[in-house]
Structures are given as structure tokens and as C-alpha cells.
Amino acid sequence: MDEAQEAAPEAVVDMPPLPAAEVPAMRSGMVWLVEGARVLAFRAPRWAGLDAGPLTVAALVLANYPIALVVQRALMGGAPNFNWAGILAGWLGVAVIAWVCWVAARSGGATVVKPAALLAVSAGTTLALNLIVGMGLLVWRPVVGTTENWSPALLWGAWLAPLSWAGLAQITLLWRTAGSGSARAAVLLLVPVALAVSGSLAPVVFWWPAPPASTEVESEPEIGLLLTDDVIAQQARLLDATLKGLRPPQHGRVNVYAATYAPNASEDVFMRESATVAKTMRERFGADGRLVQLVANRATSDTLPWGTPANLRATIARMAAVMDRDRDVLFLHLTSHGGRDGKLANDTWPLKTEPVTPALLKQWLDDAGVRWRVISVSACYSGSWIEPLAGNGTLVMTAADAEHTSYGCGRRSPLTFFGRAMYEEALRKTWSFTEAHEFARKVIEVREKEAGKTDGYSNPQISEGVAIRGVLARLQEQQRSARSATR
């Protein structure tokens, strides 16, 4: 093709002007939905008679919010909490789209369009899509249930599919209008950016699930362990009875032996997280009877062994002795504050204990001969645990990378952000640790921004050894089949 042919503009067929009687109707609210629906079908709008002012554009943009509020609430069960920050989300994307419409409309295209009319059609396209998708989800709700029961794939698919459709439709609309190469480049580059920042790289959320009653926070918890002769004697009995009571493996299955380790007695959030993780491991992975909670908290001193390094080491050794080390998986969840030095903070005052480190934990696992390991570390800077613990038979996942803090570990927090997203939400929908971690990463990023985290995204990390993938795949299929058989 020669240069003259290459530079030739696209042939544009203008629609004939509408009869004068139809022009007022074209200014009504419904027309923008009709033309938006045409854009969603990848057809050119009928520009004749279209005109819009600031009030029309504002009404079309704002109409999306009550639709999202109603649909999101209808898809959730229980009594969720309203997220006021959701109202503030999305406006940067609107501003970007408005600027792209202005550039495209004034770039000398074959079809003369006013910028306000182009922006109104663009807003009408978004509104039409939200109405179509919203009604579809409400019709579908009796089949799939409320969003609390959706799988991560379904949750993200219900958002990404309409977003992709909207993106392609908007790009097609603005590409047809743009009359220069620079304007079309702006369309291709900035429309995806606008759609992404509209939801801060995630859906705009107006409702959060209400925290369960079991996670209500006491106003001023008592700090430190209570050391008396009776408590010390009870602790020795508890650890002995708990470890001796571990059930043997069930032959022919991948059994999960699970332990939680919460060595910080000064903040109840770690005790609550231990309970949440333990419940998930019992109910979702069949760890009942093969589970040990090690918690340093005076509220559990009569019921659970303390979270101390010595108790953790003894638990690992005992589980390794009981389990089938060629088949079974040892799951460990460690939750506390973390430091840049890789140490997991412990607060067992007045009992003096040394913090657990990645190297120390690996040594204990190696000495015990544990072959298949899933290790979860919920702490600031916990990404520093990845490299020392990673291995062919190990999956390690953390609440943050090595340079950032995690979030939600304050004294008044019901659960850490990682504990809530991973164990109260994601692993209730899937048996795959990698899928759950991927879901948790996205949810945590949104929640950290909404909560005003100022030191950057925590950036949870994961490392999965090649050999353990097959073991975890068998575990996942085993649990899925067991669940199907009980229905």
C-alpha cells in the first residue's frame, strides 16, 4: 500500500437529519440510554439532534450510583455496613473520560459532534450497561445465591466481564469520533486508564459485610500473661493433652495437620485471628482432631496452650511423628507484629521468650522431617520469610512484602486485613491456597486504600514449590468431592 492510500481517511456515512418533530424527543433522558445501548452493540450513535448541557451530563453520571447501591445491596445477605467512601470513588475516571471526549470531539473528525453530546452518550453507555448487568444479576441471584457464597472467579468475572465490554464499546465510540492520530492514540491509552481508576483497579464497593459477632472487640483488654502456680500447671497439662490427642491420619487421604501460633498477649486481634484460621481449617480442610492452637493470651490460658517458641517446636515434632509424612500436609499460621529483621514479635510478659525467625522455623521443620508444608505468616514485613522458607515441598504466603507493613493489627481491630480476606472470605469459597491468596491480594489493596493506609500497599506475597502443587491439587479435589457427596 502506498503512502497516499495509507493516509486516506476512513469513509464516513453521515446519518440523515431527523425530522424536526423528533428533535425534542432526542433531548429527553431516554434517548441517551437508547444511544448508549447502540454503542454497547458497537453501532454508531445517531448524532442528529443530540445536544446536552451540564445538567444532562451530571444526571447521567449520577444515575449510576443509586443503581449500584440497590444492586450491590440486593446481592448481599445479612445486614452489611454502608461504605461511605464508595461515593467518592470513580470520579477520577469520569474526569479522564470527559477530557478524552473533548479531545476526540475537537480533533476534526468527519462527524461533527459537540464535546458535551459525546460525553453524554458516553455516560449513557455506562448507564445502559449498569442497568443491563444489574437486572441480569438480580435475575440470577436465586440461582447463585448472595455474593458471600460466590467463588473468587465468579466475583471477579461479574465485574471484569462488564468492564471489558464497556471498555471496548467506549473505545469504539471515541475512535469513530476522533479525527486525528493523536486523538485516537489518546483514546487507546486513556480509556482503559479511566475505567481502571474509576474503581481504583477494583470494583467500587458501597457495602461491606458486617463483621461476625464473634469478632467484637473488647474496649480495653488486659495485657500480659497471668503467671500463677495453677496457670503454669494447667498449661503443662493442656499442651500434653492436646499433643497426645492428635488423631492419626486417615489412610488413602491427604490429611491436613494444622497449627496456629499467636505469641502476642498484648493485643486480642491475634487471638481472634487464630480462632478464625482454626475454624476454617476444621470446616474446610477436615483438620478437626488434627489441629493445635497456640495462643499467648490470658483469656485462653485455661483452654489453649500458650503461643511460645518451645510449644511451637514441640507441636511440629509431635505432628510430624503422627502424620503420614509422605502424604499429609502440615499447615502453620503465624500471626503477630513483624519487623524488618525477619523476627516475629512475641509479647508473653512476664514470661521471657525469644522471637521465632524464618531460619529457626525451617530448622524445626527440617529436624522433624516434615515433607509437605503450607506456611502462612500474617505480620508486617513478612515477605522476608519467603526466601528462607521456600522449597520444592513448601507453599509460603505472607500478609506483606519485605518492605511494607500489613494492616489491621491494632488493638481495636477485629481481624487483620489478611486474616479476614484470606480465611474468613476467600478460603470459604475455594480450597486452593493460591486462588485464595490472589483474591485476598486484590481485596486487601482496596480496603487499605479505603482505610487510608499511608505507607503503600502491603503487597502480600506467595511462593509455591513445584512438588507440592500436585499434593495440594489432590487435597483440593478431595475436599471438593467430599463436599459434593454430602449435598
Residue 427 is classified by DSSP as: G
**Looking at 230-312, which runs of residues are DSSP E strands?**
256-262, 291-295
Confidence grade of residue 222 (pLDDT, cut at 50, 70, 90): low
Tell me whether residue 213 is in a domain: no
The β-bridge partners of 291 are 258
Question: Is it the case that residue 15 has pLDDT exceeding 50?
Answer: no
Most confident of 81-85, 107-111, 134-138, 377-381: 377-381
Same structural domain, 446 and 406: yes
Domain that holds residue 179: 3-208
Please check whether residue 216 lies inside any domain of the structure: no
The 10s digit of each residue's pLDDT in 337-370 is 999 999 999 989 899 999 999 999 999 999 999 9
So what's the pLDDT on residue 208?
63
What's the pLDDT band for 69 if we cut at 50, 70, 90? confident
Average pLDDT on 76-104 reads 75
Q: Please report the beta strands in 263-369, taking only residues with DSSP state E, as ranges in sequence order.
A: 291-295, 329-335
Q: Find the CATH number of the domain harbouring 416.
A: 3.40.50.1460
Check if the beta carbon of residue 276 is closer than 8 Å to that of residue 423: yes
Q: Is the pLDDT of residue 85 over 70?
A: no
- Span 60-67, mean pLDDT? 82
Which pLDDT score is estimated for 68?
79
Q: Which of 161, 184, 208 corresponds to the end of one domain?
A: 208
Whether residue 196 is found in the same domain as residue 242 = no
pLDDT band of 28, cuts 50, 70, 90: low
| C-alpha–C-alpha distance, residues 128 and 66, integer Å | 13
pLDDT band at 7 (very low <50, low <70, confident <90, very high): very low
- Higher-confidence residue: 482 or 92? 482
Does residue 468 register a pLDDT over 60? yes
SS3 assignment, position 355:
coil
Q: What is the mean pLDDT of the chain?
A: 84
C-alpha 173/C-alpha 101 separation (Å) is: 10
More confident residue, 100 or 318: 318
In-domain check, residue 214: no
Residue 324 covered by a domain: yes
C-alpha cell at 319: 505432628
Residues 304 and 325 in one domain: yes
E-strand stretches of 324-401: 329-335, 373-378, 394-398
Amino acid identity of residue 17, one-letter, is P
% of the chain beyond a pLDDT of 70: 83
Tell me the mean pLDDT in the region 392-415.
Answer: 90
pLDDT in tens, 314-335: 999 999 999 999 999 999 999 9
Of residues 215 and 338, the one with the higher pLDDT is: 338
If asked whether residues 408 and 442 sit together in one domain, one would say: yes
Taking the whole predicted model, whether its pTM rises above 0.75 is answered as no
pLDDT band, very low/low/confident/very high, at 206 (cuts 50, 70, 90): low
Please count the structural domains in the chain: 2
The pLDDT score that the predictor gives to residue 14 is 44
117 confidence band (pLDDT: 50, 70, 90): confident
Same domain, residue pair 188 and 302: no
Could you say which of 152, 184, 208 is where a domain stops?
208
284 and 385 within one domain: yes
pLDDT band at 9 (very low <50, low <70, confident <90, very high): very low
Question: How much of the chain exceeds pLDDT 90, in percent?
Answer: 48
* Predicted confidence (pLDDT) at residue 39 exceeds the cutoff of 80: yes
Tell whether omega for the bond before 350 is within 30 degrees of 0, i.e. cis: yes
pLDDT 10s digits, 296-309: 999 999 999 999 99
Q: Is the pLDDT of residue 25 over 60?
A: no
> Are both 163 and 252 inside the same structural domain?
no
User: Residue 48's closest CA among 25, 83, 23, 31?
Assistant: 23
Q: What was the pLDDT predicted at 148?
A: 62
Residue 4 has pLDDT above 70, yes or no: no
Helices (H), 323-379: 358-368
**Among the ranges given (147-151, 169-173, 438-442), the one the predictor scored with the smallest mean pLDDT:** 147-151
Whether residue 107 sits in one domain with residue 232? no
Q: How far from chain centre, in Å, is Cα 111?
A: 43
Which segment, 56-60, 93-97, 144-148, 416-420, is predicted with the most confidence on average? Answer: 416-420
